[in-house]
Structure 1
Amino acid sequence: MSETESTERPERHAPHGPLARSPWALPSAIAREFDPGRAKGRSRRTVRDWIADFTCFFAAVLIGMIGADAVAANPRISQDLAEFDQILGALACAVVWLRRRWPVGLAIAMVPVGMASDTAGGAAAIAVFTLAVHRPFRYVAWIGGASIAVVPLAYLIRPDADMPYGVAVAFGVLLTVTVIGWGMFVRSRRELLLSLRERAIRAENEAALRAQQAQRLAREAIAREMHDVLAHRLTLLSVHAGALEFRPDAPRAEIVRAAGVIRESAHEALQDLRQVIGVLRDGDTDAPGRPQPTLAALDALVAESRAAGMKVVLDSRVPDPAAVPAALGRTAYRIAQEALTNARKHAPGAEVTVTVSGTPGGGLTIAVRNPAPPGDVPNVPGSGQGLIGLAERAQLAGGRLTHGPGPGGGFHLEAWLPWAS
Structure 2
Amino acid sequence: MSGAAVVFEATDVPRPWRRRGRVAARVAGDAALVAACLVTGAVFLGMELDPASGPRVRGDAVLVLDVLLGLPACFALFARRRFPVVVAGVLVVVSVVSTFVAVPCLVALFSVAVRRRWPAVASVAVGTVLAGTVYGLLWPEPGLPTWALPLFLTALVVPVAGWGAYVRTRHQLVESLRRQAEQARAEQELRVQRARATERARIAREMHDVLAHRLSLVSMHAGALEFRPGAPAEDVARAAGVIRAGTHEALEDLRDILGVLRAGEVGTGTEEASGRPQPTLADVPGLVGEVRAAGAAVELDVRVPEQAQPPALVGRTAYRVVQEGLTNARKHAAGHAVRVVVAGAPGSGLEVTVLDDAGPAPLTPFPTTTTGTTAVPGAGLGLVGLAERIALAGGELEHGRAAGGFRLRARLPWPA
TM-score (norm 1): 0.49
Larger Rg: 1
Higher relative contact order (CA 8 A, sep 6+): 2
TM-score (norm 2): 0.49
